Amino acid sequence: MSGILRSRTDKRKRVREPLPPGAWSRLAACTAAAALLQLDGTLITVALPSVAHGLGVSNGSTAVVLSVYFVAYALALLPAGSLVDRFGARRLALAGLALFALGAAAGAVAPTMGVLIASRVVQGVGAGLVSPAALAGAVSGFPAERRGAALGIWGASAGISNLLGPVLGGLLTVGLGWRADWWALVPLAVVAAVAILREVPPTVHGQETSHPVLNRNVLDASFVAALTFAVMIGCFYLAEQYLQRAAGFSALGASAVLVVVALLVGIAAPLAGRLVDERGERVPAVAGFVAAAVGLVVLGIPGMPLDSAVTLIPLIPVGLGLGMLFVPTSRAALNATPLSAHGRTSAVLSVGRLLGAAVGAGLAGAALAGGVDATKTHIALLIACGVCVLVGIPASSRLGRGAPPPGDLVGSDASPPGDLVGRDEPYYGGATPAG
């Protein structure tokens, strides 16, 4: 009995101990790199109608620009995750950012749709290297019991990126043309690389293990993440296409609508982070799908205005709901595997998100392929609501089932970073400093 009480006391003490030096700055640097990948999606989405006009292709075919990026991104993730666990987050993040910048520069000067698509493949591969490195590096200084707070900031950055992306994309497209959207990604990638170089330690993982990452908790979390991104990217695509092609909005005007959703995502994510640390992953995840479904069903009602101030009201639960879904999936997956497998775990999680995004963009493009009007848009939004209710809620109720408490991993290869919190030596996320 005394041993149990002492164990519980040790766990509470570990939570109260200070984080290792540089944990927050490392989180900030890695979050900035990941935010760039998120920014890309909304920035480019705003420019697609102008891309179609500039390159002389159909509007429906521009969905390929998004989908091919997401597919290339997803295909690179699994090998990248293994490389992160072997060589460390910093090396992979820097290599990925270099490829991402190269692809963006090539896209900015693309003379044809084929060249543009090829450049997006290069960008996608670069993003695939950055993503698992950034997530693994971001949480490496936080114990399992406090990852919700860190991931809340991570999720808020996605909201901020989605907030800035439509505005920046609209300003650049209207003021300088669609190519400026691609050029803007180059200096942003350089800034992210400098932050990674300064804040993330040069590490190698000396304890890479064969610990399996495809356990039930990781797969459940990845599936929920895929649903989240399918709904989010699909709805963003629908909104941009309807507002610009049917309602006559400019690229900048259409992007203003998405700003509301992005702002709400940024507000909800930190709240979800605190909630998952206190209550677990299921409560905020289920609440997120319920809220998103409520907003989508209202938007899907025939006759509901899609281009007026009234439209903003149902967008509120949509934005809050999507914001609640970022943190639970990441925390459930990362807390189900040891630190030495976090690169691969992050990769599996990101594969789910990217495949979901590709499916969402592809289905939205197919729904509008014959022309954009209010009826088709309403139907597509109702289908998205059905996905949230019939698939999302049941799937999110399975998050975190059977995951071992963080304390159960103490003393094993799977020891969470909390074991090192408060020691004098810096913590490197299961790695030893190179050199």
Specify which residues 432 forms β-bridges with. Answer: 204
Q: What pLDDT is attached to residue 205?
A: 47
pLDDT per residue over 301-327, tens digit each? Answer: 988 888 888 888 888 999 899 889 888
DSSP 148-169: HHHHHHHHHHHHHHHHHHHHHH
For residue 203, the 8-state DSSP code is E
Q: Where does the pLDDT of residue 209 fall: very low under 50, low under 70, confident under 90, or very high at 90 and above? A: low
- The H or E element spanning position 204 is strand 203-204
DSSP structural state of residue 432: E
Q: What percent of the chain has pLDDT over 70?
A: 84
Phi, psi dihedral angles at 299 (to 5 degrees): -65, -30
Task: State the number of CA atoms in the 13 A half-sphere of 211 facing the CB.
Answer: 22
Q: What pTM did the predictor assign?
A: 0.74
The 10s digit of each residue's pLDDT in 221-276 is 999 999 998 988 888 888 878 888 888 887 777 777 777 777 888 888 888 888 88
% pLDDT > 90, the chain: 21
Q: What's the rounded mean pLDDT across residues 135-141?
A: 84
C-alpha–C-alpha distance, residues 409 and 358, integer Å: 36
Identity of the residue numbered 270: P
Length of the chain: 435
CATH superfamily ID and name for 23-202+214-402: MFS general substrate transporter like domains (1.20.1250.20)
pLDDT tier, 426 (very low <50, low <70, confident <90, very high otherwise):
very low
Distance from C-alpha of 255 to C-alpha of 243, rounded to nearest angstrom:
9
Determine the Cα–Cα distance for residues 205 and 83; give it in Å rounded to an integer: 10
List all residues 6 or more positions away from 141 whose beta carbon is below 8 Å from its beta carbon.
Answer: 19, 20, 22, 23, 24, 26, 27, 417, 427, 429
Of residues 204 and 102, more confidently modeled: 102
Residue with tokens 């804040």: 199
368 versus 34: which is more confidently predicted? 34
Amino acid at 80: A
274-303 confidence digits (pLDDT tens): 888 888 888 899 999 999 999 999 998 988
- Strand 432-433 to strand 203-204: parallel, antiparallel, or no bridges (unpaired)? antiparallel
More confident residue, 433 or 11: 11
Please tell me the predicted confidence (pLDDT) of residue 226: 92
Residue 410 has pLDDT above 70, yes or no: no
Query: Which residue ranges make up each domain of the chain?
Result: 23-202+214-402
| pLDDT tens digits along 44-61 | 887 888 888 878 777 777
Average pLDDT of every residue of the chain: 80
Q: What is the pLDDT of residue 412?
A: 33
| Model confidence pLDDT, tens digit, residues 69-118 | 878 888 898 999 989 888 888 999 999 999 999 999 998 998 888 899 99
Q: Report the b/e string of 381-395 with b at 16+ CB within 10 A.
A: bbbbbebbbebbbeb
- pLDDT for res 269: 85
Q: What mean pLDDT do residues 190-200 have? A: 92
